[in-house]
Structure 1
Amino acid sequence: MTTVFHRAPRASLPVAVAGDGIEIIDSTGKRYIDACGGAAVSCLGHSNPRVIDAIKRQAQQLPYAHTSFFTTQPAEELADRLVAAAPAGLEHVYFVSGGSEAVEAALKLARQYFVEKGEPARRHFIARRQSYHGNTLGALAIGGNAWRREPFLPLLIEAHHVSPCYAYREQRADETEEAFAQRLADELESRILELGPDTVAAFVAETVVGATAGAVPPVREYFRKIRTVCDKYGVLLILDEIMSGMGRTGYLFACEEDGVAPDILTIAKGLGAGYQPIGATLVSDAIYRTIVGGSGFFQHGHTYIGHAIACAAALEVQRVIDEDRLLENVKARGEQLRASLAARSAEHPHIGDVRGRGLFVGVELVRDRVTKAPFDPKLKLNAIVKREAMQRGLMVYPMGGTVDGQLGDHVLLAPPFICTAPQIDAIAERLGDAIDAALASIGAAASR
């Protein structure tokens, strides 16, 4: 009987005892290819000696210094490095311990910015359905993940949601990408006008939707049009790259591919690659200067923000990504993975869509490929896929509620940036076998 309060207390979990490259080893000696990085975290695998040495050095030199008394060299160097690579205008970095904290900081900063700017009526946040921004109450409120929100609705702040840029399900058959993007931008504008332009603080979106819908990339021009709408009404654009940022899509910041720069951008997961818990909120100079020139104090903070060891680890992670030219590998191996999955699913009756960017890939499972009808959620197909994959020594990130929070199943893949071509082949093969076995277990034909 464990005394750990696990997130799924009824589950009987294997005990992880070691990491070796892209694999995790349990107490029986069984190896699992980590094809999801936990939750798009372990971008360098589980045994990078450079990062481990950086942690040791910092722990020996200075493990912790509270940020109300000191700054530290690792924090300063990491911030400089991030700003140098960030989209134009993002010139300051606020460090936190993870993704939810990064989003909470972004929301509070947006609100304080408008208060100090003399626009205290701006209190509304608009986000998208089928999104996820974290599990703390503010982040959960703006997220559009229905089943995560439902138990806590009485506790959540008021938030507003518009349609997601989810082409597989939302784009009309007679609609071009351009028209689809414009329709979504028009919907955002209508919601801003409905609420009152002078009451809206920010629009919040994942650059590439992560766990809730399964690596859903935006169509071309979507974020350019969204940026135009936000600028028209003085609304901040907050991009959530907790999952998709830090190289996951083949670009250090996912929004680089979309040609837009947000006012606030959140990162975590791949920032520290799992070697230390760390996240960050990148902020425009205009917002920073408003705070500095006003109260001079951001009314927010946590004990472990800017933690010296966490910053040292993240700094070394970013150096490894750069010096080992891993973004090139992300693009190459990502193309290989999507092509391999697409080839396997070309005639598969229950694989509706293979999508994503870089090594951030989603596979959506459907009962009927023509109508895109999902499976009955009572079957819990996504959970069966996870079980079958684990039996085959493969870690993937399946989820349910893909379509509307209740219906739909998908599998999210986010393997380490260091994957080789043979390892990608193994991931595709094991996942295909796991999906077919899961389908067979519920009586669905898996023939191709």
Structure 2
Amino acid sequence: MAPPPTSVLHASLTLPPPTITHASGHYLHPSPGPPILDASGGAAVSCIGHSHPRIHTAISAQLDSCEYAFAPHFSTPAYERLASFLCSSTNGAMKKVFVTGSGAEAVEAAVKMARQYFVEKGEGGTRTRFIARQRSYHGNTLGALDVSGHAARRAIYEPLLSGKTSHVSPCYPYREKRVAETDEAYVDRLAQELDDEFHRVGADTVCAVILETMAGLTLGAVAPLQGYLAKMKEVCERHGALFVLDEVFAGMGRTGYLHAWQAEGVTPDLMTVAKGLGGGYVPIGALMVSPKVVEVLGRGSGAFVHFQTYHGHPVACAAAYEVQQVIKDEGLVENCRVMGEYLGERLRARLGGHPNVGDIRGRGLAWALELVKDKTTKEPFPVAQKVAPTIHAAGLQKFEIAVLPGGGVVDGVNGDLIVLAPAYNVTREDVDLIVQRTAKAIEHVLGGAPTAKI
């Protein structure tokens, strides 16, 4: 049957996606069709599941009191409450919060804040550059894409980008740690590469280094090796640049810590959060600013030269605050840690021996399966084969599961991933079902017998 006509500009102009009529718990309900197990939280967003009654109540109550106030001119109790919670959650590492409408907008704000910091310090004439990582992703707006290092996503927009960002190697042990190289030696090599890049572009020209604390979809749930973040921050401090952590993917509990950097004990100068902040109930992100940066602005202009029509939106702030209270009251950060360990164990038991599963990695409830054509050489499937998208489609159409397909992990174009990022309140039974259905989708597309039974 031909798909019904649509006025929506979907990701595909020829193949509209399933229409979800309602959602509850861990399931999306399409029309027509059976319920779909949401094993990816959309794009690692739905962190407390769908249709939680407490969030409905919080949104309704905020609509009854104040649905909108222009944040440059007014504040609201909802904005103040969320900002206070976020700052307190860092034990003083962050002092101010600027709430945005998305993760990309939060990154845009971070880029602008880093630039303004040096203007206020009197270094605006020289500090105009940024350093980020290859195969990183910070958002699809032009500013966020400019600091991103994913070749395929940048490609057609390259002529529109500033050219003020250079990229160094990611922390990616599966492919880039040398044979017989220790973790410590590998981290030292990456730190030296960053230091060399400062010298190459001119150390006094760099505003900031921007890193994902834990790499998201474009590298595939790669947690930092021990000492990596500390070494990166040390290089930044040596050259007077800011250290910025993008936790849009990994923050707000996903890794088993409310803030992913808390696992490493390395505080950033600026940080961004989004996906797990509002849990999908509202569009929201946030830039969090350290006392060091606030102090410089306070001695200078006393203002952030940036605003957005919907920044600090009271309904978004009220919903996000209640999401965070649910996470706290239900012990979900700890559940991320416990169920994350179990998810990793089950994935390795079920798919570790599959001839096309090259690596299984993750932390908390963010896990990735890197798919390869040859497990010994780690040769990727060619991008034209569309392995990850085909597995995603098989999951939806045949096995009633939604996973997150990724690509470009090897060189920004080639290299397939399947990412799992279920809600923080999953149980062991939920995890078993996620692994079982994911394995069936992979085996349906790539073949290979199960190595263990669940």
Structure 1 residues 294-303 or 33-42, which shifts more?
A: 294-303
Relative distance call for 1:87 and 1:171 in structure 2 (3 A) is: farther
Structure-1 separation of matches of 2:74 and 2:33: 44
Is the contact between residue 352 and residue 360 of structure 2 (CA under 8 Å) also seen in structure 1? no
Structure 1 residues 3-12 or 134-143, which shifts more?
A: 3-12
Question: SS of the residue aligned with 1:154?
Answer: helix
Name the aligned partner's letter for residue 281 of structure 2: Y
| C-alpha deviation, 1:89, in angstroms | 2.6
**Equivalence map 1:239-278=2 (5 Å):** 239-278=245-284
Look up the match of 1:328.
334
Is the contact between residue 439 and residue 446 of structure 1 (CA under 8 Å) also seen in structure 2? no
Look up the match of 1:397.
404
Is the contact between residue 134 and residue 140 of structure 1 (CA under 8 Å) also seen in structure 2? yes
Could you tell me which of 428, 433, 436 is aligned with 2:440? 433
Correspondence 1:196 to 2:207: no
Question: SS of the residue aligned with 2:22?
Answer: strand
Q: Deviations over 1:354-394 (max 9, x none)?
A: 10110011110111111111112211101110011112110
Is the contact between residue 349 and residue 446 of structure 1 (CA under 8 Å) also seen in structure 2? no
RMSD: 1.1
Structure 1 residues 79-88 or 133-142, which shifts more?
A: 79-88
Structure-2 separation of matches of 1:311 and 1:7: 29
Correspondence 1:214 to 2:198: no
**Equivalence map 1:278-357=2 (5 Å):** 278-357=284-363
Could you tell me which runs of 5 or more consecutive residues in structure 1 were left unpaired when the two chains were aligned.
none
Is the contact between residue 350 and residue 450 of structure 2 (CA under 8 Å) also seen in structure 1? no
Structure-2 separation of matches of 1:387 and 1:190: 43
Look up the match of 1:102.
106
Is the contact between residue 87 and residue 95 of structure 2 (CA under 8 Å) also seen in structure 1? yes
| C-alpha deviation, 1:292, in angstroms | 2.5
Could you tell me which of 122, 128, 142 is aligned with 1:123? 128
Structure-2 separation of matches of 1:29 and 1:419: 23
Pairs aligned (count): 444
Q: Deviations over 1:7-27 (max 9, x none)?
A: 222223111011110111112
Look up the match of 1:137.
142
Question: SS of the residue aligned with 1:161?
Answer: strand
Could you tell me which of 376, 380, 383 is aligned with 1:370? 376
Look up the match of 1:419.
426
Look up the match of 1:11.
15
Correspondence 1:161 to 2:138: no
Structure-2 separation of matches of 1:215 and 1:88: 28
Structure-2 separation of matches of 1:113 and 1:406: 35
Question: SS of the residue aligned with 2:394?
Answer: helix
Correspondence 1:150 to 2:191: no
Correspondence 1:60 to 2:64: yes
Could you tell me which runs of 5 or more consecutive residues in structure 2 were left unpaired when the two chains were aligned.
none
Q: Post-superposition, which runs of at least 4 consecutive aligned residues in structure 1 deviate over 3 A?
A: 445-448
Q: TM-score under structure 1 normalisation?
A: 0.97
Q: Deviations over 1:81-106 (max 9, x none)?
A: 11111265311101100000000000
| C-alpha deviation, 1:446, in angstroms | 5.3
Name the aligned partner's letter for residue 435 of structure 2: A
Correspondence 1:80 to 2:95: no
Is the contact between residue 44 and residue 422 of structure 2 (CA under 8 Å) also seen in structure 1? yes
Question: SS of the residue aligned with 2:224?
Answer: coil
Structure-1 separation of matches of 2:91 and 2:84: 13
| C-alpha deviation, 1:29, in angstroms | 4.9
Structure-2 separation of matches of 1:253 and 1:188: 24
Look up the match of 1:36.
40
| C-alpha deviation, 1:217, in angstroms | 1.0
Structure-2 separation of matches of 1:337 and 1:186: 35
Structure-2 separation of matches of 1:184 and 1:337: 30
Is the contact between residue 95 and residue 281 of structure 1 (CA under 8 Å) also seen in structure 2? yes
| C-alpha deviation, 1:298, in angstroms | 1.4
Is the contact between residue 116 and residue 294 of structure 1 (CA under 8 Å) also seen in structure 2? yes
Structure-2 separation of matches of 1:410 and 1:184: 24
Look up the match of 1:25.
29
Name the aligned partner's letter for residue 161 of structure 2: L
Q: Deviations over 1:136-181 (max 9, x none)?
A: 1111011011000000011101210000001101111111111111
Is the contact between residue 87 and residue 261 of structure 1 (CA under 8 Å) also seen in structure 2? no
Structure-2 separation of matches of 1:290 and 1:415: 40
Structure 1 residues 104-113 or 211-220, which shifts more?
A: 211-220
Structure-1 separation of matches of 2:300 and 2:192: 34
Correspondence 1:48 to 2:68: no
Q: Percent identity of the aligned residues? A: 47
Relative distance call for 1:62 and 1:16 in structure 2 (3 A) is: same
